[in-house]
Amino acid sequence: MAAAVAADAAVAESGLVIPDRQLIDFSEFLHPSSPHGRRATADAILHGFQTAGFVYLKNHPIPAATLQTAFARSADFFALPDEAKRALAWDSPVANRGYSSLGREKVTQLADAAAVDALRTAAPDLKESLEIGRDDEAGHPNKWPREQAQDQDQGQDQDQQKQQIRAGFHADMMRFFHLCRRLHLDVMRAVALGMGLDEEFFDPFLHVGDNTLRLLHYPGVKADVFRANPGQVRAGEHSDYGSITLLFQDSRGGLQVRSPTGHFVDATPIPGTIVVNAGDLLARWSNDTIKSTIHRVVEPPRDEEEHPPRYSIAYFCNANFASNVDTLPGTYASESDKKYEQINVGQYLAQRLAATY
């Protein structure tokens, strides 16, 4: 509670308004305790997206034990030798699967490749990641680490063992992927209800599950690194590209969002919650009535000479790649009020990803 109150005070001072004192009880949408609970929750989520661009959800349907397993599995992966991880290297914005090594990706709002390269050289993102998509997309298989056999011979060569991850990584990650996929559908139903659309309006755009599960590791880093380069961050300021993002944080901190006044404020980790932010596609889809908020990961707000590793898990939710999306009904009075033309989702996302690698 103290963390929530402190965070609430910070956002209030900066002009960033989060509904319901930051926390939205999502169980009131899934299992409302009153006749108006479902609609009130939908309205609160939409209001959060319209004013701040993000909300915190509590009492969500992702079990704590499942999330704990996902974080443990993530740590297992990043503990693998560099050779094993680089064998799974990310190599295509269309596929968007695989491992991105420390400093390779530079998230930014810049679109010019040369400018991104210059920024990457001056202040590389201090993170590594693994991208996982749906497991049944033709032509774009996931890149899985080799798993140890359940009955693995204890006499196996030690070097070979080090290149393998504990058995069950693939199964655990896809189990988590599909739980997040279900939550994505529920959150978008809440958005539809809040916007006065049919609750299932977005369902035909989401049924394929063209989403990305991203495991993130920010290695331990000395505080001197940030002092020596004032522009150094763990992840540069950016907005997400898709419809919404489900973000699961550890307790280390460092995530910040930009308020309407232009100041960055801490998105303080609150145990048991998911940070859900709107992405550029949803902002575009809604004719900018929903905000896609700029955010970044900076030096943790702790007085320590060396910051321990930070782990987070992001689930990037998209419309189906084959879908063409146009401005949503109710967000414009006439055709001249539309800010954006219809776009193909897959092409749009590939273009955005290509600029960051």
| Amino acid at position 288, single letter | D
Instruction: Provide the CB-side half-sphere exposure for 339 (13 A, CA).
Output: 11
Write out the H or E segment, with its range, that includes residue 308.
Answer: none
Helix (H, G, I), strand (E, B) or coil at 175: helix
The whole-number average pLDDT for the span 177-186 is: 98
Confidence band, pLDDT 50/70/90 cuts, at residue 152: low
- Report the DSSP pairing between strands 221-222 and 306-307: antiparallel
What is the per-residue pLDDT for 73?
98
Neighbours of 31 (CB within 10 A): 11
Rounded average pLDDT over 311-317: 97
Give the per-residue pLDDT at 10: 46
Look at residue 155 in the predicted model and tell me its pLDDT: 54
Question: CA–CA separation, 279 vs 292, rounded Å?
Answer: 5
pLDDT in tens, 243-263: 999 999 999 999 999 887 788
Give the model's confidence band at 344: pLDDT under 50 very low, under 70 low, under 90 confident, else very high: very high
Q: Is the pLDDT of residue 332 over 60?
A: yes
Q: Is the pLDDT of residue 56 over 80?
A: yes
As beta bridge partners, residue 89 has 99
Mind listing the pLDDT tens digit for each residue in 296-308? 999 888 888 999 9
Q: Does the pLDDT value for residue 197 go beyond 50?
A: yes
Name the CATH topology of 38-136+157-355.
Jelly Rolls (2.60.120)
Q: What is the mean pLDDT of residues 134-140?
A: 95
Q: Where are the domains of the chain?
A: 38-136+157-355
Identity of the highest mean pLDDT range in 20-24, 149-153, 254-258 = 254-258
The separation between CA 18 and the C-alpha centre of its own chain, rounded to angstroms, equals: 19
What pLDDT score does 22 carry?
Answer: 57
Percentage of the chain surpassing pLDDT 90? 70
Q: Angle 64-78/169-194 helices, nearest 10 degrees?
A: 130
Identify any residues that bridge with 25 across adjacent strands, giving them in sequence order.
Answer: 58
